[in-house]
Structure 1
């Protein structure tokens, strides 16, 4: 198939324009692929679930019989080991699960406000 000479610039312009719009849209326009949207939605859902479970963690800490000992252990731990100490205390274990949740433990540390109590 032969294209007329007057049509070629229009085709090249349309292809270049489409490429430009795609690059700008994905780079700065906020467009994303389906896989990227799924990952973003999963991350957002996980953070919302953790935020909803923080009161349970704080309540577990408040009602624990050995609260004083466990808080002392958590306070004595270095800043980057406090999450592991809170997980060992068992406060970051959601009812119905067997293992503690690392993200919940990190959020619970902020909820406990160890410097104030």
Structure 2
């Protein structure tokens, strides 16, 4: 006995294929769906930003170890710097060098400079 396929099956299959293609295109173009490498890149960036956000207050704490008069002088000097050189100022003062580290980090210095500008 031959199997009969209903007439609506062929358009249904084509509709499923076209729908899957459209969902894939829309998903990837709106970043709703990402590849494994993109997801790993996003996770790495998120981890880096979290580490910077956690270490910037340590930089501020190192600044606060100065005497109150010296803090005022250093904040005034930081304000006089242009916005794109403030991280260099923080690095030069040694506040962006984390305990246990030999070298400062530019990203931590930039975040620290922003936090220090909020103090004033």
Q: TM-score range by the shorter chain?
A: 0.7 to 0.9
In structure 2, relative to structure 1, the CA distance for the partners of 1:51 and 1:115 (3 Å cut) is closer
Would you say how many aligned residue pairs link Structure 1 and Structure 2? 112
Q: Distance in 1 between matches of 2:28 and 2:105?
A: 34
Decide which structure has the larger Cα Rg and report it: 2
Given the two structures, how large is their TM-score scaled by the length of structure 2?
A: 0.75
> Residue 90 of structure 1: which of 94, 100, 104 is its match?
94
Q: Which runs of 5+ in 2 are unaligned?
A: 1-7
| Offset, 1:11 | 5.6
**Does the 8 A contact of 2:56 with 2:111 survive in 1?**
yes
**Cα deviations across residues 63-85 of structure 1 (Å, max 9, x unaligned)?**
13664554343222112111111
> Residue 47 of structure 1: which of 41, 49, 59 is its match?
49
Q: Distance in 1 between matches of 2:41 and 2:89?
A: 30
| Offset, 1:12 | 4.7
Which residue in the other structure is 2:26 paired with?
24
Which residue in the other structure is 1:3 paired with?
none
| Offset, 1:57 | 0.6
2:84 partner SS: helix
Structure 1: 4+ residue segments shifted above 6 A: none
> Residue 113 of structure 1: which of 111, 114, 117 is its match?
117
Which residue in the other structure is 2:3 paired with?
none
Which residue in the other structure is 2:4 paired with?
none
Q: Which runs of 5+ in 1 are unaligned?
A: 1-5
Structure 1 vs Structure 2 CA RMSD: 2.7
